[in-house]
């Protein structure tokens, strides 16, 4: 607090330029906010103190009448060393909790907080105005890549990840514009009370059959040939989110988890409470995520939960019966104030000898869906986000509209589209039932309606043994 109260420490000797009222206001509370460099918060060199004192005496002498009139009538209380012998006797208490001193301390603390907030906001605004220049590239050298010429994920001058195709830094001004602006769907949203049905997953979870169980939002339990995989598990309500559908946590019914796959660090995908609980219950479950995500996952796992991170186009270490790959998406990342694009997000492909499943995480539309097809020509199930897409001017860069999802599905060449990321949390402007309704309309128009397989929450889809999968990546 001392540092904050003394402008010389923050601004150097130029600090005095910020203080036009220095002498006239050497009374009252402003003295401690910035009105007096020599006020005892930080010890001044003797020469400065002496200068100050001399200056005050000069003023007192040159304004003899003013001082006499105000000091003697107690309207101004000069410090004791300046007070004329004839003035009123000192009344200041040396006790630190004297009300006047407490008030000063309160003001110092308040000023400190204010300054910290201003510095934080300033830093965020400045960082958001950056151009992201690619300075280097990274990948996990311990992992194999399925795209041999891939040079690694790009990093900018502030070592943040950059999407080569769609560089993106979120802007607080845009967020405020959205949050403070009108929602054109507001009335429709208020009147849209349709909610997703919630089934009981007990029977599927107690069994052993292959299937894709939707647990709401981007959370799935995928069971293939005895291997159980959780994607982006969120079984409570993350901070800043509002649930549209109450769903009991399935954790007590889940019997086994071998892999936990996390697409990116946003709180509706990487949930601390859920991941801690999953790690406690399944201490051997492996946690897989994008580069640098281990900084938070390390805090949440148990000592026996292995963590692995990968760059785009890299393969995680798994049992031989399954392949798990990290692929590009068009999105961004941040959990706190100053970690924008610090952790890498992606989509994930799960491949067995008979099935390939694409889990899209969060993404706007881009060439990555076509690219997924080039790498995995026989995708069976395409799990794709269709919600949180309005307003388009704000969401388009990061979330598919239902129409984008249909186009991405067609690009990917997948057999079935399983929609996700809608109906669970209220994250955007569109009414709750709009994403699925629009998806079905778009699918109809594109002639793929029979390949769209929507689930309700806790419903599962049996996994077909698809006739042929190239398998070259396993
Ligand atoms: Zn996200």
Domains in the chain: boundaries? 2-125, 136-462
* Ion ligand 1 nearby residues (CB, 5 A): 266, 362
- pLDDT given for residue 56 in this prediction: 55
The CATH superfamily assigned to 136-462 is: Ribonuclease Z/Hydroxyacylglutathione hydrolase-like (3.60.15.10)
Q: pLDDT tens digits for 165-185? A: 899 988 888 888 998 999 999
Give the global pTM.
Answer: 0.75
Mean of pLDDT values over 396-425: 97
Residues 36, 48 contacting (CB under 8 angstroms): no
pLDDT level of residue 261 (50, 70, 90 thresholds): very high
Return the higher-pLDDT residue of 128 and 217: 217
Q: Is the pLDDT of residue 10 over 90?
A: no
Mean of pLDDT values over 71-82: 46
Rounded to the nearest angstrom, the distance between the alpha carbon of 266 and the centre of ligand 1 is 5
Q: Is the pLDDT of residue 231 over 90?
A: yes
Helix H or strand E encompassing 99: helix 99-128
Mean of pLDDT values over 332-358: 95
pLDDT level of residue 216 (50, 70, 90 thresholds): very high
Rounded to the nearest angstrom, the distance between the alpha carbon of 231 and the centre of ligand 1 is 14
Q: Are strands 227-231 and 347-351 parallel, antiparallel or unpaired?
A: unpaired
Give the number of other Cβ atoms within 10 Å of residue 345's Cβ: 29
Q: pLDDT tens digits for 117-143? A: 888 777 766 666 777 889 999 999 989
Rounded to the nearest angstrom, the distance between the alpha carbon of 202 and the centre of ligand 1 is 29
Rounded to the nearest angstrom, the distance between the alpha carbon of 362 and the centre of ligand 1 is 5
Q: Is the peptide bond before 225 cis (omega within 30 degrees of 0)?
A: no
Q: Is the pLDDT of residue 309 over 50?
A: yes
Range with top average pLDDT, 28-32, 98-102, 233-237, 468-472: 233-237
What are the angstrom distances between the C-alpha of 416 and each of 263, 353, 409, 443, 463? Answer: 20, 18, 8, 11, 11
Rounded to the nearest angstrom, the distance between the alpha carbon of 342 and the centre of ligand 1 is 13
Cross-strand pairs, 420: 385
Task: Report the alpha-carbon distance of residue 152 to residue 313 in Å, rounded.
Answer: 9
Mean of pLDDT values over 72-78: 46
- pLDDT given for residue 243 in this prediction: 94
Mean of pLDDT values over 278-288: 98
Residue 337 backbone phi and psi in degrees, to 5:
-80, -35
Rounded to the nearest angstrom, the distance between the alpha carbon of 449 and the centre of ligand 1 is 27
Residue 222, SS3?
strand
Rounded to the nearest angstrom, the distance between the alpha carbon of 206 and the centre of ligand 1 is 31
Q: Is the pLDDT of residue 24 over 60?
A: no
Q: Is the pLDDT of residue 467 over 70?
A: no
Residues 237, 445 contacting (CB under 8 angstroms): no
Structure tokens at 264: 């990116």
Mean of pLDDT values over 55-64: 51
Mean of pLDDT values over 225-231: 96
Residues 386, 400 contacting (CB under 8 angstroms): yes
Rounded to the nearest angstrom, the distance between the alpha carbon of 436 and the centre of ligand 1 is 19
Rounded to the nearest angstrom, the distance between the alpha carbon of 269 and the centre of ligand 1 is 7
Rounded to the nearest angstrom, the distance between the alpha carbon of 264 and the centre of ligand 1 is 7
User: Chain-wide mean pLDDT for the chain?
Assistant: 83
Rounded to the nearest angstrom, the distance between the alpha carbon of 223 and the centre of ligand 1 is 25
Q: pLDDT tens digits for 434-457? A: 999 999 999 999 999 999 999 999
Closest CA to 212 of 461, 436, 473: 461
Rounded to the nearest angstrom, the distance between the alpha carbon of 331 and the centre of ligand 1 is 7
- pLDDT given for residue 104 in this prediction: 83
Tracing tokens 């039932």 back to the chain, one arrives at 433
Rounded to the nearest angstrom, the distance between the alpha carbon of 392 and the centre of ligand 1 is 15
Residue 359, SS3?
strand
84-88, 256-260, 284-288, 309-313: segment of lowest average pLDDT:
84-88
Mean of pLDDT values over 251-256: 98
What are the angstrom distances between the C-alpha of 173 and each of 126, 131, 193, 339, 399? Answer: 12, 16, 31, 18, 19
pLDDT level of residue 46 (50, 70, 90 thresholds): very low
Range with top average pLDDT, 8-12, 165-169, 415-419: 415-419
Rounded to the nearest angstrom, the distance between the alpha carbon of 41 and the centre of ligand 1 is 46
Rounded to the nearest angstrom, the distance between the alpha carbon of 239 and the centre of ligand 1 is 14
pLDDT level of residue 101 (50, 70, 90 thresholds): confident
- pLDDT given for residue 239 in this prediction: 86
Return the higher-pLDDT residue of 95 and 149: 149
Residues 453, 418 contacting (CB under 8 angstroms): yes
Residues 274, 236 contacting (CB under 8 angstroms): yes
């Amino acid at each position: 607090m001392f540092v904050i109260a003394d402008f010389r420490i923050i601004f150097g000797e130029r600090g005095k330029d910020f203080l036009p009222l220095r002498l006239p206001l050497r009374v009252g509370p402003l003295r401690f906010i910035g009105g007096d460099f020599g006020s005892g918060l930080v010890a001044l060199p003797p020469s400065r103190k002496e200068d100050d004192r001399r200056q005050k005496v000069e003023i007192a002498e040159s304004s003899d009448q003013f001082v006499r009139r105000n000091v003697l009538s107690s309207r101004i209380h000069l410090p004791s060393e300046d007070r004329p012998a004839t003035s009123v006797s000192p009344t200041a208490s040396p006790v630190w909790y004297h009300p006047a001193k407490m008030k000063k301390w309160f003001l110092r603390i308040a000023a400190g907080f204010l300054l910290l907030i201003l510095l934080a906001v300033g830093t965020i605004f400045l960082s958001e105005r950056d151009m992201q220049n690619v300075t280097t590239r990274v990948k996990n050298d311990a992992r194999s890549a399925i795209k041999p010429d891939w040079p690694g994920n790009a990093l900018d001058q502030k070592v943040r990840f950059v999407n080569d195709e769609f560089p993106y830094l979120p802007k607080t001004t845009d967020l405020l514009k959205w949050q403070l602006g009108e929602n054109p769907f507001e009335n429709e949203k208020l009147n849209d009370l349709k909610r997703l049905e919630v089934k009981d997953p007990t029977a599927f979870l107690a069994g052993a059959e292959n299937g894709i169980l939707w647990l709401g939002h981007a959370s799935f339990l995928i069971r293939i040939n005895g291997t159980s995989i959780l994607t982006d598990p969120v079984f409570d309500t993350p901070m800043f989110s509002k649930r549209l559908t109450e769903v009991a946590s399935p954790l007590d019914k889940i019997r086994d988890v071998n892999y936990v796959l996390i697409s990116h660090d946003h709180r509706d995908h990487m949930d601390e409470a859920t991941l801690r609980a999953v790690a406690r219950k399944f201490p051997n479950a492996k946690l897989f995520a994008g580069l640098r995500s281990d900084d938070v996952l390390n805090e949440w796992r148990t000592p026996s939960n292995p963590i692995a991170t990968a760059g785009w186009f890299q393969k995680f270490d798994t049992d031989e019966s399954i392949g798990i790959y990290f692929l590009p998406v068009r999105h961004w990342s941040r959990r706190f104030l100053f970690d924008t694009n610090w952790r890498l997000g992606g989509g994930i492909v799960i491949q067995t000898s008979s099935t390939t499943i694409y889990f899209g995480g969060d993404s706007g539309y881009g060439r990555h869906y076509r690219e997924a097809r080039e790498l995995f020509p026989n995708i069976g199930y395409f799990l794709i986000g269709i919600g949180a897409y309005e307003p388009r001017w704000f969401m388009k860069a990061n979330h598919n509209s239902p129409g984008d999802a249909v186009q991405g599905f067609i690009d990917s060449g997948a057999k079935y589209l399983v929609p996700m990321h809608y109906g669970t949390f209220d994250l955007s402007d569109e009414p709750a039932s709009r994403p699925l309704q629009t998806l079905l309309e778009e699918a109809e128009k594109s002639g793929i309606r029979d390949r769209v397989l929507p689930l309700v929450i806790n419903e599962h889809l049996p996994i077909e043994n698809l006739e042929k999968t190239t398998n070259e990546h396993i």
